[in-house]
Amino acid sequence: MNKKLRKTIIAGNWKMNMLASGIKDFAEELIPLVPGFKAWCDAVVCTPFVLLPSAVKELGGAGIGVGAQNMSQFASGAYTGEVSRAQLEDVGARYVIIGHSERRQFYGETDTSVNQKLLAALETPMTPIVCVGETLEQREAGITYELVALQVKASLLGVSPLQLKRVVIAYEPVWAIGTGKTATPEDAGEVCGAIRDVLAAVYDREAADAVPILYGGSMNEKNAGDLLAQPDIDGGLIGGASLKPASFAAIINAANQ
């Protein structure tokens, strides 16, 4: 982390888990465990669409940001099953995850659709968290850096330097998501550093240094400190550990370095 240049963000991604009836208990357990967290990081929980109002109600008052896990690139219309940026903003979402690897893998999202969704999100006050990362096969083929660079460049097409100030990028090696496998802190830090170099090449070094880059790949309370100690890792996109208040709180507190 480099808190002099950019903010730290610890974002939970609940994926397709949790019920509205359980959010109050979650909040009551989590909030006392992270006193004063706003002094050192932004804490965020990204929930399924149907849980957003409950999450805003129970967590928003404590200063925990609530976000969505996806959004449509279209403003409105005949897109059954989709949720628009205006609808997310209307229920209080402050963040939105775009291009998560599971969306790419299971629902056919591409760099093009990710770019369209990012541009749509930037028309709102929401903070977009754009995900990039390689599969195990791509890593073993030695093309991690080339692939991630392509994803970053393609995702940011048409994004102005001013708009870039509102973007968060999450590096999530697909092979480490939900598997218990984690890139070593050094490996994760090197890829995040490479992402920052891509941003510097496309924009400039000052702009690149201002973009928070999160690591998302089985970060937990045991490894968070070592990962967050890397200079180009500015937080985490947390999966399973974010569903457990004690574990999530430990990660938030690990950002207090």
Domain of residue 87, CATH code? 3.20.20.70
Number of helices (H), then strands (E), belonging to the chain: the values are 12, 8
User: Could you tell me which of 253, 218, 205, 212 has the C-alpha nearest to residue 235?
Assistant: 212
Structural domain harbouring 214? 9-254
4 assigned to some structural domain: no
Catalytic residue among 100, 109, 134, 221: 100
87 assigned to some structural domain: yes
**Digitized pLDDT (tens) for each residue of the chain, 257 residues in all:** 989 899 999 999 999 999 999 999 999 999 999 999 999 999 999 999 999 999 999 999 999 999 999 999 999 999 999 999 999 999 999 999 999 999 999 999 999 999 999 999 999 999 999 999 988 888 888 889 999 999 999 999 999 999 999 999 999 988 776 667 767 899 999 999 999 999 999 999 999 999 999 999 889 999 999 999 999 999 999 999 999 999 999 999 999 98
How many other C-beta atoms can be found within 10 angstroms of the C-beta atom of residue 199? 23
CA distance 188 to 177: 13
Q: What is the pTM of this model?
A: 0.95
- Cβ neighbors of 146 (< 8 A, separation 6 or more) are none
Whether 172 is catalytic is: yes
3 assigned to some structural domain: no
2 assigned to some structural domain: no
Whether 123 is catalytic is: no
1 assigned to some structural domain: no
129 assigned to some structural domain: yes
CA distance 66 to 68: 7
Task: Check: CB of residue 30 under 8 Å from CB of residue 63.
Answer: no
Rg over alpha carbons for the chain, rounded to the nearest Å, is 17
Both tokens assigned to 126: 């929401």
Residue 139 pLDDT: 84
Both tokens assigned to 231: 């200079």
182 assigned to some structural domain: yes
Q: How far is CA 232 from CA 6, 100, 146, in A?
A: 10, 20, 18
Catalytic residue among 89, 102, 134, 172: 172
Task: Check: CB of residue 239 under 8 Å from CB of residue 13.
Answer: yes
- Phi first, then psi, for residue 67 (nearest 5°) are -135, 165
Count of the separate structural domains present in the chain: 1
51 assigned to some structural domain: yes
